[in-house]
Amino acid sequence: LFNYGDVTIQTAAERREFDFASVPNPSRVADILSDLVKEIKGHV
């Protein structure tokens, strides 16, 4: 309704999970993070 939600980031690092609550536009944030990971890995 208000386009806020939680975002969880999972990594292979020592601290494996990061949780962010009440993030505006969570789907957009997830898309941006995914694009950045692909760019870093050289898939773009």
Domain count, the chain: 1
- Judged against a pLDDT cut of 90, whether residue 44 lies above it is answered with no
The predicted structure's pLDDT at residue 5: 97
pTM of the model: 0.75
Tokens of 33: 């993070």
The predicted structure's pLDDT at residue 25: 98
Q: What is the DSSP string of 1-44?
A: ---EEEEEEE-SSSS-EEEEEEEESHHHHHHHHHHHHHHHHT--
Strand-pair partners of 20: 7
The predicted structure's pLDDT at residue 12: 86
Could you report the per-residue pLDDT of 5-23, keeping only the tens digit for each?
999 999 888 889 999 999 9
Could you report the per-residue pLDDT of 20-41, keeping only the tens digit for each?
999 999 999 999 999 999 999 8
Residue 9: give the domain boundaries.
4-41
